[in-house]
Structure 1
Amino acid sequence: MTDILDELQWRGLVAQTTDETALRQALADGPITVYCGFDPTAPSLHFGNLVQLILLRHLQRAGHRIIGLVGGSTGLIGDPRPTSERRLKEKHETATDVERIAAQVRQILSVDGGTPPTFVNNLDWTEPISALDFLRDYGKYFRVNQMIKKDAVAARLESEQGISYTEFSYQILQALDYLHLYREYGCTLQTGAQDQWGNITAGSELIHRVDGGTAHALTTPLITDSQGRKFGKSEGNAVWLDPSMTSPYSFYQYWLNIEDDSVVHLLRIFTDLTRSELDELARQVAVEPHRRTAQRTLATEVTTLVHGAQATASVQAASEALFGKGDITALEEQTLVDATGELPGADVPAGTGLLDALVATGLVDSKKAARRAIGDGAVSINGDRVGDEGYVLAAGDYLHNRVAVLRRGRKNLAAARLA
C-alpha cells in the first residue's frame, strides 16, 4: 500500500471524499485529527456502526489522532429518518445510553500500537448555548433551500407527515460539532456512513464559512449482500454489539452464516487480514465452499474484536457441542442458554416421559414417530443416546437446572426447558 487512503479504498471502506487529492496529501503529511460521531438513539451500537469503528482503527494504527464522539445532545434530537419522526427520548434515557455506547466505543478503539483516542460528548458544548445564540451565531450560515435538498429531509417533505423543526435542525447541530472539534482539537476529517454525507459536508462548509478553514469528509459504503440488500437491517433483527441484546453466540452464528458470494468482501472490510490471506480464503471458498473456512474466520475475527477471545472460544465450543462432537455438559450456563435459545423447543417439566418431550419440542409429530426414532437409536439427551422409550426426564437431565438438549438423528435438535 502506498498510503492509508489506498488501503482504505482496497478494503472497500471509502464511498465518498471531499477533494481526494487534498485529503490524500493531508493524510500523508499527518498526523491529522479525525472524528466520528455515534448517537445514542438505541442502547447499543449495531452492525453498521462497527464499520465506522474499524475505519477509525485503521486510521489510528496509521498514526492519526482519533476522537470518538457520543452524541449526548444530537441523541436528544435524532437524525431525521426518511420514513417517520423519531420518538424523543427522555433526557435520563439518553444519558444512560450515552454511557453504554461510550463504553463500546472505548473498547473497540482502545487498541495496541496506536495513539490513544480522545472521547467527547457533544452535550458538553451544546447545552450552554442559548436558543438566541444558536440562531444568531450558527443558524445564519445555513440556507434553507440547501438544507431541504438532504435526502432524508427531502423524503420527509414529500410525505404526509412532513418534518418537525426539531429534526430539521439536526444537521446544524452536527455541523456545530465539527466546528467545535476543529477549533478545540484541530480536527480536519470527519467520517461516517454514506447516508451521512450531507450532515458531514454541512460541517466542513461551516468551518470554511466561519473560520476560513479547510476540513475534509470521508464516508463508507452501506454494506450489502450480493443482491444489494442491506445486512442486518431486517425488521426486529438488528445485529447489536451489546451482548445482552445480541448474545455472543447469536453474533458468531450471524457471521458464520454469511453467504459465499459476500464473505471475502466482508473479510476485507471487517478484519485486518492481508491480501495473501484473503486470496487464500477466496480460493477455499471457490474450491471447498462446504468447509466454510472463510465464514469461520470471519466469525472468529469479528466476535473476538467485539466480545473478546474468551467469549469467542465459548461460543465456538457451544457450536461444536451442538452441531459437532463437543461436550454439551461442559458448557457454561450463559453460553448454554444463549445457544439453546436459538433452537426450537418447549417448556418440559421434570418427570415428563421422553415420548411426550419429543412431541412437545417438535422433534417428532407423534408418539408413534417418537417410538420409531428411539428404536432406531436416533434419539439422545445431552449427547447420550437413549434406547428406552419409557425413559422419564429427571431433574439431573436439565443442565444448569435450565435445559436438556434433545437430538433426533444428526441434525435435528430441540431444547427441553425446565418448566
Structure 2
Amino acid sequence: MSDIKVPEMGESITEGTIAKWYVKEGDRVNSGDVLAELETDKVNLEISAEESGVIEALVRQEGETVSIGETIGRIGAGGAAASSTGQSGGTSAAEPEQSGAGAGGEAKSAVAAAPAQSPVQAASDENARQAAEGTPYPASPAARKLARERGIDLSQVSAQDPIGRIRQEDVKAYSEHKGSAPESKVQLTAAAADKTAESAASDPGKPVERRKMSRRRITIANRLVEAQRTAAMLTTFNEVDMTAILDIRKRRKQAFQEKNDIGLGFMSFFTKAVVGALKKFPLLNAEIKGDEILVKQYYDIGIAVSAKEGLVVPVVRDADRLGFAGIEKQIAGLAEKARSNSLSLNDLQGGTFTITNGGVFGSLLSTPILNTPQVGILGMHKIQLRPIAIDETTTVNRPMMYIALSYDHRIVDGSEAVRFLVVVKELLEDPESLLLEG
C-alpha cells in the first residue's frame, strides 16, 4: 500500500486546494496515471500515482485545502483489496490501516488491531479523532470553513453521509433552505455578518448567484492590495506615434513569418524598448530588500497574460540577449502554456520588470498596478487614429497609443520615471534604434 501525498511545489507554496479527482475509490490505476489536479496560488499541478494498484480511499475531497506532504488518498494492491471484500467498485477499499504503514501513532495501532475495517469504520475513527480534538460534530475541513464563513452552527446541520460526517454540501443545503443558526448559539465572523446584512438589505425575490473565489483569484486580489498598501505607487503617461512600427510590420511581416515561423507582433518592439530604457535608468530594474536596493544586472521581463483563472505574468528570460524572433517565440509559448494551464513555477518567478497590454481588450488608458517586488510596470493601450499637429499649419491623422508607467516612488524619482518613458517613446518611434539600444 502507498499513500497519495501532496508533493513539494516550491519554497513559496505551502498548501493547495484539490480542484478535481480523476479517480474514485475502487478504480484500478497504473504507475504514472494522473490521479488529481491541485490548484495552488500560482499554478495548477497534477498528482500522479507512484505505483500501480487500486484506489482504497480518498481521504480528502474536492474543494478541500491540503498541505505539502499531507496524505490525501491511499493506493493498495488490487488482489488484496478484492479478496478482503469480495466486491467491486468503491467499497473494495477496505483495509487501509491493516498494514500499519504510514504515520498515525497510537490511534492507528488501535485501528490496526481490528481484523478488517470498512470505509465506514475508518470514517468513524476519523469522527472519533475529531471529537477528541474538541470538534463535537465531525465535519470535513471544507464544511467547517464554510460554516465559519456563513456563521452556521454545525450542531444544526444534518449529515447526508451514511457515516455521519458533515460535508460542504450539507452546510450549503442548510444555509439555503433553513438559514443561519441564531446568534445566541454562534458568534458571526465579520464575513458572515457582511453576508447577513447583504441578504437582509436585498430583495429576496431577486436572483443572486454566489461564486466561490478560486485560490488563484484570492492570491491575485491579495497581491494587488498588498502592492497598493506597501508601495508608494505613482503613474506617469505619454503617447507613442506607432506609424513607423506599423510600417515595418506591414513591409516585413510575411518575410519574418516565413523565416522564423512566428508572427512579428508588437510585444517584441516594446520588450526591446523597455530593455533599452532600463539600461539607462537601472533603478526601474531593481527591488527594495529591507533598507537596501537590489539593482539587477539582468533583464527578465514579465509579460502579463490573461488566463481563465485570472491574470498571470510569465517571464521572458534574458530578454536583452534575444532577437525579435526569440522574444516572439518565448511570448507565444508562454501564452499557450497559460491558456492550457500548464505554466510551471519557474515560468512565473523572478521577473525584474513587467509589461501589460490592456489594448488587446480595447483599453484606451489605465494605471497598471505594480507586480511586487518589482518597482516598475509599463502599460500598453489601444492604437487609435488621432489628429496630430505636425507644425503650426499642418494636422494629420496618426495611429497613436497611450503608454503608462507605474513606479514605486520610494526609490524612483518622478524625473527618472518621466525620462524613462520618454526613452521608451523615442525608441518605439524610431524602431531601427532598437537594434542598437535594445
Normalised by the size of structure 2, how large is the TM-score? 0.25
- Structure in which a larger fraction of residues adopt helix: 1
Normalised by the size of structure 1, how large is the TM-score? 0.26
- Structure in which a larger fraction of residues adopt strand: 2
